[in-house]
Amino acid sequence: NFTTGAHIWASASGTVVYTHASVSCNACDTGCGDYSSSCTGSTSNYGWGNVVIIQHSDGTYTKYTHMQQNSIQVSNGAGTCPGLYIGRQGHTGCTAGYMNGCGDHLHFQRQSSGSLNGTSVSISFSETSNPLSCGATYDSAASERTSCGGQPGCSTTITHSGSNIIDDTDACFEKFGNPAYWYAETCGGYGNHFWWTDAISGNTPENYVKWNLKIGEAGEYKVRVFVPQCRATTRQAKYEIHAAGNTYTKTIDQSIYYDEWVTLGTYYFNTSSGQYIRLNDNTGETNYPDIAFDAVKLVYDGCTTRTYYRDADNDGYGNPNDTTQSCTQPSGYVTNGDDCDDANASVHPGAQEVCDGIDNNCANGVDEGNVCDACRDSGGDRDEDGVCDDEDNCPATPNGDQADTDGDGHGDACDRCPSDNPDDSDGDGVCQSEDNCPDVANAGQFDCDGDGEGDACDTDSACEPACGATAALASPPFPPLVLPLLLLLIARLLPWRSSKPGGKRLFLP
């Protein structure tokens, strides 16, 4: 285009992802007055001059380059629509043309990424009434737009007491897609006007509408949409409600309504930006019914909101970092935010702590309370032999193998008589297998006759008085020393004769 400073319009709806507006020189057209040998590198924006790059819903990007210095009308993040004035043609960067000499020039490119040097994507141009030819002039049927509606510029503020209606003529109503497929209608609708298009069956919408919401007072609002009496023949109009960081969907059959308000549901809206209602044309229907886009209305529900917490694992405890505000408890949310792992239903406050490297009960750290001690609930392991005390047959003496030869429940390591069961039935301190009188106490184990049977239980030991030990144990007829004294006394009392010379006998007392 030879027109100096001609307005450049966005080719399609999208979002601005890159702008550069400070280049004032030309790097390649040496015969032009704006040429500068120092217009290189970053000074020339690497030859592209001043640039706008827009991302589109199909994943492609459009790039507009060599624009006039400081002429760009949009900023990063701004929405665009067909015909939106985004800047003016210029002669910046490395541009030189054989057709326009030092005149203004627009490099327009469709590409696969948002990079300055993105790979080109082919474009199909066609115009049946005026076939494309080199050097021809073409006039767009579209009108220049200085905004696409919506925010900013959307002035309708939603309040508790307001009418809160956004009609299709409101600045908060925003259409996207191919203008050729948008049709205005006056056969009904709110204010006797609405827009419609053909519904499509594809996965990606071609035309859609956003009712941008500027919420002045947070709260629960009933969302209602107006369905006109004509052109609304789709049975699968899927409305998206983008509220307070959440997205909800509600599908209605437009064909059954006749110039009336239809309630989609009640949703919580806060005062942050970026909240809206959206309706796409891709309903999935293959018979191309008409889908109508008219007014929406928000009606304050008048309730007290509270915070609810997402409970993704359905364990009754919510994620403190995933919340929503609502008058009523939404599905999948709970009133507490005490969960420390909302992806694991076995982890929550009150859960039993087990030895698994996880804080199961969301308190006091990982594996607290000695849960990894196998004998924690079994009395411990005093002898540290790996066998818990309540199962150890020698809890105070190490015996990891738990050997118990006599099977009496006392391990060999601590059993005084490991081969005997019972150990010592007569209680004389001699093991049963070694006791010569196992049923009669005989701690001394006396066996006078050496027959292996202890004197305490040997029935024939009394027949062998020569055995000192046995005789000592037998009961004597008299106490010790009594017998000698008794014999002496008898000798004194009994008369006895003593022979003297002369043959006389003397009787001594």
Distance between CA atoms of residues 3 and 370, nearest Å: 83
Strand order in the sheet with 333-334: 323-326, 306-310, 333-334
More reliable by pLDDT, 136 or 372: 372
pLDDT in the model for residue 458: 85
Number of other CB atoms surrounding residue 364 within 10 Å: 10
- The letter for the amino acid at 472 is A
Reply yes or no on whether the pLDDT at 155 is more than 80.
Answer: no
Q: Are 28 and 95 in contact (CB under 8 A)?
A: yes
Q: Are 382 and 389 in contact (CB under 8 A)?
A: yes
Integer CA distances (angstroms), 272 to 10, 32, 171, 327, 447, in order = 28, 50, 19, 18, 106
Residue 274, CB-side half-sphere exposure with 13 Å CA sphere: 7
Distance between CA atoms of residues 498 and 509, nearest Å: 12
Q: Are 273 and 151 in contact (CB under 8 A)?
A: yes
Least confident of 140-144, 158-162, 180-184: 140-144
pLDDT in the model for residue 221: 95
HEC profile of 379-442:
CCCCCCCCCCCCCCCCCCCCCCCCCCCCCCCCCCCCCCCCCCCCCCCCCCCCCCCCCCCCCCCC
Q: Are 149 and 195 in contact (CB under 8 A)?
A: no
CATH for 7-111 is 2.70.70.10
Reply yes or no on whether the pLDDT at 355 is more than 90.
Answer: no
pLDDT in the model for residue 466: 40
Q: Are 155 and 214 in contact (CB under 8 A)?
A: yes
Mean pLDDT computed over every residue of the chain: 83
CATH topology for 157-300 is Jelly Rolls (2.60.120)
H/E segment holding residue 485: helix 482-493
pLDDT (tens digit per residue) in 173-214: 888 887 778 898 999 999 999 999 999 999 999 999 999 999
HEC profile of 82-100:
CCEEEEEEECCECCCECCC
More reliable by pLDDT, 379 or 253: 253
Domain ranges of the chain: 7-111, 157-300, 373-416, 424-456
| Cα 202 to chain centroid, rounded | 33
pLDDT in the model for residue 459: 81
Distance between CA atoms of residues 392 and 379, nearest Å: 10
pLDDT in the model for residue 475: 47
Which residues have a Cβ under 8 Å from the Cβ of 337 and sit 6 or more positions away?
A: 307, 309, 318, 319, 320, 323
Q: Are 216 and 269 in contact (CB under 8 A)?
A: no
Helix (H, G, I), strand (E, B), or coil: what is residue 179? helix
Looking at residues 340-364, what average pLDDT do you find? Answer: 88
For residue 310 the two structure tokens come to 């997402």
pLDDT in the model for residue 378: 67
pLDDT (tens digit per residue) in 458-509: 887 554 444 444 444 444 555 555 666 776 777 666 654 444 455 444 444 4
Helix (H, G, I), strand (E, B), or coil: what is residue 239? strand
pLDDT in the model for residue 130: 57
Least confident of 110-119, 146-155, 200-209, 332-341: 146-155
pLDDT band at 133 (very low <50, low <70, confident <90, very high): low
Burial tier of 248 (Cβ tally within 10 Å: 0-12, 13-18, 19+): middle
Tell me which range, 334-343, 427-436, 489-498, is most confidently predicted by mean pLDDT.
334-343
pTM for the model: 0.39
pLDDT (tens digit per residue) in 53-106: 998 877 889 999 999 999 998 888 777 888 888 999 999 999 876 556 688 888
